[in-house]
Chains A and B, each alone.
Chain A
Amino acid sequence: METRLSRYIWTHTRKQQLWILLVVALSMIPYFLSFDLPKQIVNGPIQGEGFEGPEATQAFLPVSFSLPGFGEVNLFSGFQLEREGMLLALSLVFLLLVIVNGLFKFYINTYKGRLGERLLRRIRFELVDRVLRFPPSHFKRVKPAEISTMIKDEVEPLGGFTGDAFVQPALLGGQALTALIFILLQSMWLGLIAAFIVAIQAVIIPRMRRRLLVLGRERQLTARELSGRVSEIVDGIGTIRGHDTSNYERADIAARLGRIFKIRYDLYQWKFLVKFLNNFLAQVTPFLFYSIGGYFALQGRLDIGQLVAVIGAYKDLPGPLKELIDWDQARQDVQVKYAQVVEQFSVKPLIDPSVQAISITSVAPITGALAAVNLSVSDDGGSKVVEHVSLQVRPGEAIAITGGSTGGGEALAEAFGRLTWPESGRIVVGDDDIHDLPESVVGRRISYASSEVYTFQGSLGDNLLYGLKHAPLTEVVYEGDKAAHRRWELLEAKLAGNPSLDLNSDWIDYGAAGATGPDDLFAKVRAVLDTVLLTNDIMALAVRSTINPERHEAFAGEIVAMRGALRRRLEAEKLSDLVVFFEPGSYNVEATIGENLLFGTVTNQARWEQALESHPFFKTVLKRAGLHESFYEMGLEIAGNVVELFRDLPPDHPFFQQLTFMAAEEIPAYEALLQKVRGRAIDEVSEDDAIKIIRLCFGYIEPRHRFGLLSEELMSQIVEARREFSEGLPEDLVGIIEHYQPNRYMASASIIDNVLFGRIGHRHTDGSERIRAIVRDLFESLGLYNNVLAFGLDFDVGAGGKRLTAGQRQKLNLARALIRMSDFYIFNQPLLALDQRAQEQITRNVFDFLRQDDRKPAIVWVLANPALSELFDRRAHFENGHLMSDGAVETPAKDSDYKELAS
């Protein structure tokens, strides 16, 4: 990148800068005219110059000029106007000039803004482009937050400056010069005085501002470091709390902020000192005008109109001048910023752009071998982790790499995966160096997966298919407004030097996954997920998710239909007591009293709480059903039990997880409340207190809490009240509750709750697991399995995939590599988070998966468990960075010999 900002701007916006300069030059004409006009108005119609007689007229708008050697050319002799007419005409011209000047300003500012924003877009893109091409070692040195601060914040002022880079000095310089020339024309002396003061300002002020620049640079660096530290705190919060070092971090941040404060305060002091001096110099000039100019006027050597015009013109001098000085300040400021950023992004060696060039066509398979040739790799400290290793992986071969964490096998795999670059030696594919081949070949035909996983924020499905998105494969046809918008997008992208790749295009390379299109891709997805044992996890996520039944009408219908199927199945397997179904006419003992009363779920907890406390509806219905008093008694009983059980426990005791009626900190309040209402009937207790007690009932489940509070009579009363609740629900409470209806899908409940339409009993320890297995089985037999799985693929994995477990992330990462048909698969202990048994199972599955349909890609697997090497053709053993042995895996016969020896 260019090291000088002004050159960078000139290179990319030359034409536009010249155009805007031309416009600025044109705008000078009305600007200059508007200076002369006040003098004409004052001297002419107001003071009467040239209107000596009452009927005297003057020419308005005569167009004449003199050509040298030709004489006066008179094109238009003008309109003859009287004094009042002239005043009006000239004033109107003045107004016209104001408008014209304003319009020029509007056009120039808009144009400049656009120019700046385009350049900002260009710089930001170029920086990110460079990040994509940084060598791997550089990422170990920089903090992500610092890079993003640079791209986001530090280059921002550059955009603002771009438009002003050349226009501002031209415009302001032009204005200042115009004003100065005008003053000079009016009065040589006054003009010289003004010019002298201007010269002083132009020399002194920028000198004083040099210190500001130094401070500015410090401010930039410290702020960038601060953002790096803040992101470190966020990323390392577990470590900080775990080691009780939060106060060390506080001290560090406070010290940094102190330094930043000092720098910023210094900046302020200097800034205002410079401002003071600048203002003073600007104000000295009018003092000289009034004293000297006034003196000349008194002596008659300067007419008053001239003096007024000089003073008027001077008003326009300090403004542009000050802005010019400010501009210079801004120029130096952004130059410093730009140089800083460019320095950070000038990393060598950058990956050549041709390596990452887009390739839309599919890439031919690699037929040569992948090999390390005399390869050495060092870690950051400079010690060699792989030393002079030569290892060839022929197409179709399966090689196990063993030797544990210090062996060097991992480092070799990383080098194969291009995560580290060789210190010496080469990695070759056929005859070519792997780093010279385009990424469209090595990034597609060689797949790499390790236990270090990065998942992007987005859906699970997007992450799974991420490795297929190499190029926009379809041409999207836009129509109407969208077409116009797309044309605009393309044009702007071109003007800002951005690529025109269409994000809306289908980027998924179905062929690379062995599918022909979106329709049969799902089978591949399913196969891959089964291979890495992720399907059940995703199903579990799917059934817990909620869907919009209006958007998935058919599916919702099938789910509702499944309720009956589930019942029949449970009956057939004699497991009916596993689930207690919701029946409109009977009490569901496994559900809370609240659910039984409302016969539905609360969709908006906050509104519900509020309604419960203040809405008269609940009280009326409860009273009418004769439940008001029973609920109060029951609430007292619950409160009493809870207080008795939990009173002595500290608030953070794990037993409080079992407490669903109230929060741990509410217990003292209830204890006091019980004291207060003891021995008093409900009508003697205040409304608020009664509600506090009654609401405890809503969370009660008899088989779970076992306080023995529900009687047969009470249950039928609750079922009785249920109807009133659903039918009499007032207007303002509609939507707060979603009622259970046996033949309707509940939008606020999860898929599994919709299937069950009931509650799993508390009495079977493995009840929910058994139900889940049965439901999964039902999905399969009813042909809904894939639909449900698709909902699971919509699951948002969160920032960095944090909503998945480490094991799930590693499985996903492996699946992402597997779904893409490559010639070489490099697996660098990809499943470390899983237990031994699962690792073994998945490794075997992967072999089956990659060996089906006559495919025979090469597999290089860095094994944590050497026992698995029997699956492979060859085994390469590493110790201390050296390849110790490399040969065919011992035959099973030998293996059993060994076993006998060992036992």
Chain B
Amino acid sequence: MLARHSEKRTVMLLKDEVEMLRRITLFSGLPPAKLKLLAFTSDRVMYSAGESLFHQGDIGDAAYVILSGRADVLVATQTGQLKVAEVEQNSIVGEIAILCNTPRTATVKTSTALEALRIRKDDFLKLLADFPEMAVEIMRVLADRLSQTTSELTEARSRAQRAEA
């Protein structure tokens, strides 16, 4: 049984993780050696389906790079949990909370078995301080998201106005 385990474990190695990280926009600009360092200082974690990576309202202590599997992003509303997005392989979740020290804005719950790289907050911030190009990249991604959110909001408002009229 142990042997089977270890066989499974040896499938994905540091170098594979580096490959994975490279495919994420946020990290794509970084030199491979730094990505390897980031991977090395992070923990590889496994979840089965239905487990939570973190809960809305928790203090953020880590970001997660999803190596395999899928998870739902859920937000608590008055009527219950609302699924607002889905994340899958090669995406990063939870980076907002560790950037601005706010509680988690959403719950992330796995929908399949999931393997992720857990990047601790301190390590992540240290990397940002060491590599400004990464900080710029983060800014770009955030600005992208903001403009997307703004346009969605505008659309929602105009829809609401039309409905009123």
Show the binding face of A for B, using Cβ within 8 Å. 577, 580, 583, 586-589, 641, 644-646, 648-649, 653-655, 658, 702-703, 705-708, 710, 712, 715, 762-765
- Report which of B2, B118, B126 forms a contact with A583, defined as CB distance below 8 A: B2
Besides A653-B126, A702-B10, 10 other A-B contacts (C-beta < 8 A): A586-B3, A589-B2, A655-B123, A706-B12, A706-B39, A707-B14, A708-B13, A710-B10, A712-B3, A764-B45
Q: Can you show 8 pairs from A to B with CB atoms below 8 A apart?
A: A587-B6, A589-B6, A644-B36, A646-B37, A655-B123, A702-B10, A706-B12, A706-B17
Asked if residues A762 and B2 are in contact (CB atoms below 8 Å), the reply is no
Interface string of B1-36 (1 = CB under 8 A from A): 011011101101111010000000000000001001
- Report which of B13, B33, B41, B43 forms a contact with A655, defined as CB distance below 8 A: B41
Residue of B nearest to A655 (CB): B41
Residue of B nearest to A712 (CB): B3
Main secondary structure of the interface of B (DSSP, over half): helix
Asked if residues A580 and B13 are in contact (CB atoms below 8 Å), the reply is no
Q: Which residues of B contact A653 (CB under 8 A)?
A: 126
Q: Which residues of B contact A762 (CB under 8 A)?
A: 43-44
A715→B17 CA distance, assembly (Å): 24
Residues of B in contact (CB 8 Å), total 26
Distance from A128 Cβ to chain B, minimum over Cβ atoms (Å): 48
Asked if residues A589 and B45 are in contact (CB atoms below 8 Å), the reply is no
Q: Which residues of A contact B46 (CB under 8 A)?
A: 763-764
Does B122 count as interface, using CB distance less than 8 angstroms? yes
A721→B146 CA distance, assembly (Å): 60
Asked if residues B2 and A645 are in contact (CB atoms below 8 Å), the reply is no
- Report which of B10, B36, B118, B126 forms a contact with A765, defined as CB distance below 8 A: B118
Q: Which residues of A contact B13 (CB under 8 A)?
A: 706-708
Asked if residues A654 and B6 are in contact (CB atoms below 8 Å), the reply is no
Q: Which residues of B contact A705 (CB under 8 A)?
A: 14, 40
A762→B9 CA distance, assembly (Å): 11
Most B CB within 10 A of own CB, among A654, A705, A715: A654
Asked if residues B10 and A654 are in contact (CB atoms below 8 Å), the reply is no
A653→B15 CA distance, assembly (Å): 23
Q: Which residues of B contact A589 (CB under 8 A)?
A: 2, 5-6, 9
Most B CB within 10 A of own CB, among A583, A589, A646: A589
Asked if residues B44 and A644 are in contact (CB atoms below 8 Å), the reply is no
Q: Which residues of A contact B17 (CB under 8 A)?
A: 706
- Report which of A580, A644, A649 forms a contact with B2, defined as CB distance below 8 A: A580
Residue of B nearest to A658 (CB): B41
Asked if residues B10 and A708 are in contact (CB atoms below 8 Å), the reply is yes
Show the binding face of B for A, using Cβ within 8 Å. 2-3, 5-7, 9-10, 12-15, 17, 33, 36-37, 39-41, 43-46, 118, 122-123, 126
Asked if residues B37 and A655 are in contact (CB atoms below 8 Å), the reply is yes
Asked if residues A702 and B40 are in contact (CB atoms below 8 Å), the reply is no
A706→B17 CA distance, assembly (Å): 9
- Report which of A648, A703, A707 forms a contact with B44, defined as CB distance below 8 A: A703
A648→B127 CA distance, assembly (Å): 13
Q: Which residues of A contact B7 (CB under 8 A)?
A: 712
Residue of A nearest to B122 (CB): A654
A765→B52 CA distance, assembly (Å): 11
- Report which of A580, A708, A715 forms a contact with B14, defined as CB distance below 8 A: A708
A56→B5 CA distance, assembly (Å): 117
- Report which of B9, B33, B39 forms a contact with A644, defined as CB distance below 8 A: B33
Given A645-B40, A706-B17: A654 and B3 interface contact (C-beta under 8 Å)? no
Q: Which residues of B contact A703 (CB under 8 A)?
A: 9, 44
Asked if residues A715 and B6 are in contact (CB atoms below 8 Å), the reply is yes
Q: Which residues of A contact B5 (CB under 8 A)?
A: 577, 580, 589
Asked if residues A645 and B45 are in contact (CB atoms below 8 Å), the reply is no
Asked if residues B123 and A654 are in contact (CB atoms below 8 Å), the reply is yes
Distance from B47 Cβ to chain A, minimum over Cβ atoms (Å): 8
Q: Which residues of A contact B122 (CB under 8 A)?
A: 654
Distance from A531 Cβ to chain B, minimum over Cβ atoms (Å): 27
Q: Which residues of A contact B41 (CB under 8 A)?
A: 655, 658
Q: Which residues of B contact A646 (CB under 8 A)?
A: 37
Q: Which residues of B contact A649 (CB under 8 A)?
A: 37
Most A CB within 10 A of own CB, among B12, B41, B123: B41
Most A CB within 10 A of own CB, among B10, B118, B123: B10
Distance from B37 Cβ to chain A, minimum over Cβ atoms (Å): 5
Asked if residues B44 and A706 are in contact (CB atoms below 8 Å), the reply is yes
Distance from B58 Cβ to chain A, minimum over Cβ atoms (Å): 12
A211→B41 CA distance, assembly (Å): 70
Residue of A nearest to B53 (CB): A765
- Report which of B6, B36, B43, B126 forms a contact with A645, defined as CB distance below 8 A: B36
Distance from B128 Cβ to chain A, minimum over Cβ atoms (Å): 13
A588→B6 CA distance, assembly (Å): 9
A705→B39 CA distance, assembly (Å): 10
Q: Which residues of A contact B12 (CB under 8 A)?
A: 706
Most A CB within 10 A of own CB, among B3, B13, B40, B118: B40
